[in-house]
Structure 1
Amino acid sequence: MHRRAVLTSAGVALAALVTGWAALAVPTANAETEAGPPAVTAPTPTTATGPPATTDRPTPAADATEGPAGSPVAVHGRLRVCGVHLCDQAGEPVQLRGMSSHGLQFFPNCLNPDSLAALRTDWRADFVRVAMYVQEGGFETDPAGFTRRVDEAVVTASALGLYVVVDFHLLTPGDPNLNLDRAKSFFAEVAARHAARTNVLWEIANEPNGVGWAAIKSYAEQVIPVIRAADPDSVVLVGTRGFSSLGVSEGADETEVTDDPVDATNIMYTFHFYAASHRDLQRATVARAARSLPLFVSEFGTQTFTGDGPNDLDSATTWLDLLKSLKIGYAMWSYSDGPESNSVFRRGTCAGTDFTGTAVLTESGAFIRSRIRS
């Protein structure tokens, strides 16, 4: 929730899309509302041809939005906000459960066809959050390269029928307006490229901090129209004050949002927690806010807010039971193999091709895989 320790390990470039995958048996969708149709084999992801382009970035195929039969996207279709819930194409509330990547610059080889296939078929997750840091060696250093990495992850996940949260991972500086021009440029390009897809959600500001709600709201009301110009129907996730704590971490609460909501439709507000640090106060805030605000937990951890230290699985279980009762979707941080306890994979896993089962998992990884599969 607060700043995670910056990783300094160098990584190789994110794997490009791989064609000719082995056939993948795709189980039915695992969101909390349904049992999907029979499982089928996932298609090999492809990149559609389109108008001449100046880069080799992938573009969405016209039929790439449905996903394999039985996958989350095939079962639920395009999502939308209805009241305080995220709802599927039939108007039924749905709780999405999934994982967040770590920063693409820190663990560039942890999001690849094999790992995402495992997330879908072995973990039975509904979505992946693609965390693209803006600073700390991220987007600002190579806009074209990081945009391409996001595109590749979206295309790969889409071929599996996973939903994708594209996370513009603002953290330091905490005022999103300092990256307003970058946000407009990024979302204009990527939203246009993936506008035909029904499975992409846009998270416009990861964890605003040290700045008031009025400034965050102003940022949102300038960025959302950029997305809507290309993609009028997708859900947008808006970060909240105090590291997306609805202001709690900076002495406020949800009333600043309920009293002055963002002037936009089909949006949800994000809440982040780390179970060893955030307990009764934060859970009470979420339970209260969920009566009037559509909430989405786009990031949580089982440790302290540093993203490291002992896992508090009892507190994490209490949190996830609450989110289940409220039908609030969540993603755990992080789908990586780093040294911190927030990493779900053991060190070195992302250098290989085997991401299935429990032998490759840390304590937090085994916990969340079991929870998502249940």
Structure 2
Amino acid sequence: MAVGETLEDEITASAASPVDEHGRLHVCGTRLCDSAGEPVQLRGMSTHGLQWFSQCVGDASLDALAYDWGADVVRLSMYIQEDGYETDPEGFTARMHDLIDDATARGLYVIVDWHMLTPGDPHYNLDRAKTFFAEIAAEHGDQNNLFYEVANEPNGVSWAEIKSYHEQIIPVIRQHDSDGVVLLGTADWSSLGVSGGTDEQEVIDDPVDASNIMYTFHFYAAS
């Protein structure tokens, strides 16, 4: 390392960032592919709710994630309830804008996570979600590093109800971002129905009518 050079400078000089390496990602068949059409797997971590422990998500932690851990992606979790978005929509949206910019500056992919959990019906927050994702996509829709996770863990409602929500949110995003990957929560806490006694077949039989989407699956050891 040269005199006056930081670890960030050295790593930046020696290796391309994940976004520099892979460019805009898209869904190809059942895989995520990079701008060259090659399958890619992203590795990274999620924040906790952005309303908690704000000191834990900042320059130092993002530097560690990008330059020390060599992560490809960070998931920014915007809780709606539990003292989250609904208490200060303008303030929390501004916080999300800032963190997207901070992660983008480090060459990371960003999952904008609409972290609905309780209540489990995503329609409860439908109007809030439309406002939030319209603002996020309008500001960042021209970037090549965003994923939109529109419902974290739907629960207590059928796949048909969850699908109905998705099909109302996707057009809001597409008004500003025609090709960003949208991540769709699945039944029973995004277990593809497994935790509720069904499985992925209900999604296969009745898929969301949209392109460049992926369905989320959360693995729970007990079920």
| Range into which the TM-score falls when normalised by the shorter chain | over 0.9
Aligned pair count reads 218
RMSD, aligned CA: 1.3
Gaps of 5+ in 1: 1-21, 28-38, 42-68, 279-374
Question: 2:84 aligned with 1:138, yes or no?
Answer: yes
Structure 1-normalised TM-score? 0.57
Query: Aligned equivalents of 1:72 and 1:89: distance in 2?
Result: 12
Q: Secondary structure at the match of 2:76?
A: strand
CA contact (8 A) 1:25 1:121 kept: no
Q: Secondary structure at the match of 1:237?
A: strand
Q: Note closer, same or farther for the CA distance 1:23–1:142 as it changes in structure 2 (3 Å cut).
A: same
> 1:40 corresponds to which residue?
13
> 1:339 corresponds to which residue?
none
> 2:71 corresponds to which residue?
125
> 2:3 corresponds to which residue?
none
Query: Aligned equivalents of 2:180 and 2:216: distance in 1?
Result: 16
> 1:79 corresponds to which residue?
25
CA contact (8 A) 1:127 1:164 kept: yes
Query: Aligned equivalents of 2:145 and 2:83: distance in 1?
Result: 28
Amino acid at match of 2:26: R
Give per-residue Cα distances to partners, 1:326-355, cap 9 Å, x unaligned.
xxxxxxxxxxxxxxxxxxxxxxxxxxxxxx
Identical counterparts, % of pairs: 63
Q: Note closer, same or farther for the CA distance 1:194–1:23 as it changes in structure 2 (3 Å cut).
A: farther
Give per-residue Cα distances to partners, 1:122-154, cap 9 Å, x unaligned.
100000000010001000000011101111110
Aligned-pair CA distance for 1:186: 0.3
> 1:338 corresponds to which residue?
none
Q: Note closer, same or farther for the CA distance 1:188–1:26 as it changes in structure 2 (3 Å cut).
A: farther
Give per-residue Cα distances to partners, 1:272-328, cap 9 Å, x unaligned.
1244x35xxxxxxxxxxxxxxxxxxxxxxxxxxxxxxxxxxxxxxxxxxxxxxxxxx
CA contact (8 A) 1:116 1:157 kept: yes
> 2:191 corresponds to which residue?
245
Gaps of 5+ in 2: 1-5
Query: Aligned equivalents of 1:139 and 1:166: distance in 2?
Result: 13
Aligned-pair CA distance for 1:108: 1.3
CA contact (8 A) 1:154 1:164 kept: yes
Query: Aligned equivalents of 1:26 and 1:213: distance in 2?
Result: 48
Aligned-pair CA distance for 1:25: 3.2
Tell me which stretches of 4 or more aligned residues in structure 1 moved more than 4 Å: none
Q: Secondary structure at the match of 2:175?
A: helix
> 1:257 corresponds to which residue?
203
Amino acid at match of 2:13: V
CA contact (8 A) 1:26 1:70 kept: no
Residue 50 of structure 2: which of 81, 100, 104 is its match?
A: 104
Structure 2-normalised TM-score? 0.94
> 1:24 corresponds to which residue?
8
Give per-residue Cα distances to partners, 1:196-239, cap 9 Å, x unaligned.
21001000000000000000000000000000000011000000
Query: Aligned equivalents of 2:54 and 2:148: distance in 1?
Result: 20
Larger radius of gyration between Structure 1 and Structure 2: 1
